[in-house]
């Protein structure tokens, strides 16, 4: 049986429909076209129809009860605040009165302490003056029990001009940001240098130093026996004026003071004085030492004793 030839169409052959350009982004397209969930859309439509207010009687009653309760709570809170205000004010006044009373008591105790300290100092001075001879005078001098007057030197040390913040150098490593300021360790070296150069008595800004005085720092302030000093620092030393002046400037501590002037701009001047006057120390601490002996038992108080000047 003969085969039928295949039927061929003379027109264009039909093909699949063209794809959308964003067919590969179906999820993003769905999100953009349906940005609002159906439930949210229905809720928005209900609010638009009913104005957002309850339509049933029961809902309206609940809303009214809630408003009344809220108003009652606010009213009660305001009333309680108004009632408690006078009580708080009274407690505050009592606290202020108590603080004033305690402050007055502290001031009175401080005055008593100063009075007793003065009395103790006077008794110590009388006890020292009762010991006649060179030993008594030496102890009185070292303890600062009496005023001192005689030839000596006057040394004035001051901060650098235009002292500001910042800087570098060996003094910066101590934590002080301002290298142009006079520090406690600088005054320690100055005072120790004067003692080693032959000074018999020393005072800083009218504050008498003894063998047990301490020069310390509290922030940027220099303390001498816990009393703050302000620059310029005037150091008076009693001794052989010319010799004391020359010996100090030739010593290592004198060279240290010159180095401070050259490197950091710290100012100082030293002069020989025919007469300087130093006041007595405000508080006296008298200690004596005895020569140590090899056979002295431990803890007997007769061993070796360090009597160096404690200004550093």
- For 217-251, what is each residue's pLDDT tens digit? 888 789 988 888 888 999 999 999 899 999 999 99
Q: Give the distance from CA 174 to its chain's centroid.
A: 16
DSSP state of 269: E
Break the chain into its structural domains and give their ranges.
Answer: 57-127, 149-162+179-278
pLDDT per position as a tens digit, 59-104: 778 888 888 888 888 888 877 777 767 777 778 888 998 999 999 9
Specify the pLDDT at position 167: 42
Q: Are 169 and 264 in contact (CB under 8 A)?
A: yes
| CA dihedral (273, 277, 280, 281) positive or negative | negative
Give the length of the chain: 312
For the stretch 121-154, what's the b/e string if a residue is b when 16 or more beta carbons lie within 10 angstroms of its beta carbon? beebbeebeeeeeeeeeebbbbbbbbebebbbbb
Q: What is the pTM of this model?
A: 0.51
Q: What are phi and psi of 208, to 5 degrees?
A: -70, 135
Specify the pLDDT at position 304: 42
Q: Are 141 and 129 in contact (CB under 8 A)?
A: no
Specify the pLDDT at position 213: 84
Mark the ranges of the chain whose per-residue pLDDT is less than 70. 1-41, 43-44, 46-55, 84, 124-125, 127-143, 164-179, 283-289, 293-312
Beta bridge partners of 207: 204
The CATH architecture of the domain made up of 149-162+179-278 is: 2-Layer Sandwich (3.30)
Specify the pLDDT at position 166: 42
Specify the pLDDT at position 209: 87
Specify the pLDDT at position 287: 63
Q: Rounded CA gap, 284 and 125, in Å?
A: 8
Task: Output the six-digit token pair for 33.
Answer: 């076209």
* Cis, bond preceding 232 (omega within 30 deg of 0): yes
Which residue in this structure is represented by tokens 């006890």?
Answer: 127
Q: Rounded CA gap, 280 and 206, in Å?
A: 9
Specify the pLDDT at position 49: 64
SS3 84: helix
């Amino acid at each position: 049986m003969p085969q039928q030839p295949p039927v061929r169409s003379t027109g264009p052959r039909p093909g699949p429909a063209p794809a959308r350009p964003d067919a590969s982004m179906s999820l993003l397209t769905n999100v953009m076209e349906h940005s609002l969930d159906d439930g949210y859309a229905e809720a928005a439509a209900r609010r638009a129809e009913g104005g957002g207010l309850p339509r049933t009687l029961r809902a309206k009653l609940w809303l009214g009860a809630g408003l009344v309760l809220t108003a009652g709570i606010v009213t009660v809170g305001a009333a309680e605040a108004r009632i408690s205000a006078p009580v708080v004010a009274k407690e505050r006044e009592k606290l202020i009165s108590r603080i004033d009373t305690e402050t007055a008591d502290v001031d009175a105790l401080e005055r008593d302490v100063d009075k007793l300290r003065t009395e103790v100092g006077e008794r110590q001075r009388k006890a020292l003056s009762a010991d006649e001879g060179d030993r008594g005078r030496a102890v009185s001098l070292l303890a600062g029990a009496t005023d001192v007057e005689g030839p000596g030197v006057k040394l004035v040390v001051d901060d650098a001009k235009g002292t500001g913040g910042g800087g570098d150098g060996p003094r910066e490593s101590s934590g002080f940001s301002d290298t142009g300021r006079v520090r406690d360790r600088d005054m320690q070296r100055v005072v120790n240098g004067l003692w080693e150069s032959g000074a018999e008595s020393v005072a800083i800004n009218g504050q008498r130093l003894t063998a047990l005085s301490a020069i310390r720092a509290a922030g940027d302030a220099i303390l001498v026996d816990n009393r703050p000093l302000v620059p310029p620092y005037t150091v008076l030393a009693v001794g052989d004026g010319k010799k004391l002046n020359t010996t100090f400037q030739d010593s290592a501590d004198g060279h240290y003071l010159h180095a401070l002037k050259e490197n950091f701009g710290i100012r100082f001047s030293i002069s020989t004085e025919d007469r300087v006057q130093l006041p007595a120390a405000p508080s006296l601490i008298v200690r004596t030492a005895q020569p140590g002996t090899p056979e002295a038992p431990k803890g007997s108080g007769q061993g070796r004793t360090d009597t160096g000047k404690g200004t550093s």
